[in-house]
Structure 1
Amino acid sequence: MRLFSFIQNGRKSIGVLCKKDSNEFVDLCATNSSIPADLYGLIAIDPQFTKAKEALSNPNAVIKNIADIQFDILIDRPGKIVCMGLNYADHAKEGGNARPDYPSFFLRGPSSLASHQARIIRPKVSDKLDYEAELAFVVGKKGRNLTRENALDCIAGYSIFNDASLRDYQRKTTQWTIGKNFDQTGGFGPWLVTPDELPLGAHGLQIQSRLNGAVMQNANTKDFLWDVVETIVLITECMTLEPGDVVITGTPAGVGYARTPPVFMKSGDICEIEIENIGVLRNSIEDQT
């Protein structure tokens, strides 16, 4: 299934595509009023999406068209957004880093998120807004000290993230947090794809970023230094992953700051992140007013 958050006529709801490449979807909340109006709430009570499956097969389901709605942030208020850095050897190398012994973890806040088709905002204080294509996954089941054998059981689904970063602010300190948390810089969506539609652990998927149609990054999730299973094991050594949490898994080589000359996103640009069998996350870039 492919589930997404949307707004129509001021009302929040959840949609599920009728078919993988269809523009038609079932409005879950209009079909079943007991379904929460946000994915965070639905995952909390129904991580297997039983209600969504029932609505999808309901002959009286309310069918709508994607052209008529506005996408909302997929998980708009996650409890935590755990991000990885340096999870591709080629990206670590282009940043002047040796292959790390341990990934760089940092956190994003909810105010940094932007929905599919929304604007990513370049702030007034910097012109060094960079793109980063990343695989995301959303937690559906609480877990601590998970193992290789049970790590994937905690995943509700996979999505796409653009970890847009203000490079000058990222490098003001040894901690990356400030450069990764400007308001409305993290594109997230368009939908949550359930694990049954993808290879185990989302392994072997092509991942690509395009800026105004030009390919900037082109890699594959098989190139992870720490795959999804290992990532979950490492994180849950430290903290409990809870339903609705989001994990961002790192970006490959080809980012703008490492190019000669550097390439940064500016107002009017269109940035697309595509992951095989998941979809395309598309955001325009606009200067802060």
Structure 2
Amino acid sequence: MKFLSFFRDDQPSWGSVAKGGIIDLGQRSSGRFPDLRSFIAAGLPRDLLDDSGGGDLAFDEVTLAPVIPNPDKIVMAAVNYLEDTTDPDTLPAYPVLFLRLPSSQIGHGAPLIQPRSSQKLDFEGELAVIIGAGGRHIPREEAMAHVAGYAIYNDGSVRDWQKHSHQFTPGKNFTGTGAFGPWMVEAADLPIPDRALSLVTRINGVEKQRTDTSRMIFDIPYLISYISTFAPLVPGDVIVTGTCTGFGTTRTPPEFLVPGDVVEVEIEGIGLLSNTVEAEK
């Protein structure tokens, strides 16, 4: 199944994708599960999931929010894909990780904001992993049992601010730069890592990035095990698994996003995340 978070008449809710629209599970649960994160924490109970009657809402009646608007933590991996030119002798021993603030996130269809303080807004198409069962010191061989599902992420990065120092935090946390959507596909419906999924990023319809999930340097089980060693994972946490080459600063000359650009990230088996760039007002 596919689960999402949304606003209707400025009121937050969450639900599942059904034929003809969205089932408003926030309303149907009558306060039992106020958000998708709480539903995941309860183990995705099936008693709410009868979609035989079709959707309660059409997509054009809602505004999509980030899949998990309120995660306890968002842990991002830098780069993380093998390229045809990668020298095996230069592979890192450990992943480069950084944190993103939930307040920097936007949903599918929301504007990606080019900040007034920079002209170097970049794009990074990535696979997001949403934690179901929490834990600490999770063994790598047990890690996939802790996954609730998968979504798409565009780790919009303000490159000059990212490189003010060796810490990535400023450039990775501008308001309206972390696009997260359109929904979460349950792990049971998408057997990663047994299946390699294609990942493509397009700007204004032109392909800029292409890879597949089998090319990760540090795979999902490793990332879950590694992160859970230093921080306990809890339901609804988001691990964003890194990008491949082809983003703006890897190009000659560099290509940065400008207002009016449309950024699309498509991952096989999940769907399409699309956002139009707007200037900060």
Please report the TM-score for the alignment, with normalisation by the length of structure 2: 0.93
Further displaced range: 210-219 or 56-65: 56-65
Give the letter for the 1:5 counterpart.
Answer: S
Is residue 3 from structure 1 mapped to residue 11 from structure 2 by the alignment?
A: no
1:139/1:169 CA distance change after superposition, 3 Å:
same
1:173/1:197 CA distance change after superposition, 3 Å:
same
Give the alignment of 1:219-234 within 5 angstroms. 219-234=211-226
The root-mean-square deviation of aligned C-alpha atoms, in Å, is: 2.1
Give the letter for the 1:196 counterpart.
Answer: A
SS of equivalent residue, structure 1 residue 201: coil
Is residue 36 from structure 1 mapped to residue 29 from structure 2 by the alignment?
A: no
1:264/1:58 CA distance change after superposition, 3 Å:
closer
Q: Report Cα offsets for 1:2-50 as digits up to 9, x if no partner.
A: 00001112222112112xxx44221113333144232122223x22x11
- Runs of 5+ unmatched residues, structure 1: none
Equivalence for 1:85: 78
Task: Give the CA deviation at 1:246.
Answer: 0.7
CA–CA distance in 2 between the matches of 1:158 and 1:77?
16
Give the letter for the 1:26 counterpart.
Answer: I
SS of equivalent residue, structure 1 residue 196: helix
Task: Give the CA deviation at 1:61.
Answer: 6.9
Task: Give the CA deviation at 1:172.
Answer: 1.2
Give the letter for the 1:140 counterpart.
Answer: G
CA–CA distance in 1 between the matches of 2:233 and 2:21?
33
CA–CA distance in 1 between the matches of 2:257 and 2:29?
42
CA–CA distance in 2 between the matches of 1:213 and 1:6?
26
Q: Report Cα offsets for 1:166-222 as digits up to 9, x if no partner.
A: 111111111111111111100001101101111233740000101011000010000
Task: Give the CA deviation at 1:233.
Answer: 1.2
CA–CA distance in 2 between the matches of 1:141 and 1:171?
35
* 2:159 maps to which of 167, 170, 181: 167
CA–CA distance in 2 between the matches of 1:265 and 1:60?
42
Equivalence for 2:12: 12
SS of equivalent residue, structure 2 residue 60: helix
Task: Give the CA deviation at 1:241.
Answer: 0.7
Task: Give the CA deviation at 1:149.
Answer: 2.2
Q: Report Cα offsets for 1:83-125 as digits up to 9, x if no partner.
A: 101311339969xx94222110111111111111101111111
Is residue 204 from structure 1 mapped to residue 228 from structure 2 by the alignment?
A: no
Equivalence for 2:207: 215
Further displaced range: 68-77 or 198-207: 198-207
CA–CA distance in 1 between the matches of 2:124 and 2:20?
27
Check whether the contact 2:76–2:100 (CA below 8 A) recurs between aligned residues: yes
Check whether the contact 2:5–2:12 (CA below 8 A) recurs between aligned residues: yes
Check whether the contact 2:138–2:228 (CA below 8 A) recurs between aligned residues: yes
Q: Report Cα offsets for 1:109-143 as digits up to 9, x if no partner.
A: 11111111101111111101000000001111111
CA–CA distance in 2 between the matches of 1:235 and 1:185?
23
Aligned residues: 280
Give the alignment of 1:43-192 within 5 angstroms. 43-44=40-41, 46-47=42-43, 49-50=44-45, 53-57=46-50, 63-90=56-83, 98-192=90-184
Check whether the contact 2:126–2:153 (CA below 8 A) recurs between aligned residues: yes
Check whether the contact 1:122–1:286 (CA below 8 A) recurs between aligned residues: yes
Further displaced range: 236-245 or 201-210: 201-210
SS of equivalent residue, structure 1 residue 179: helix
1:262/1:231 CA distance change after superposition, 3 Å:
same
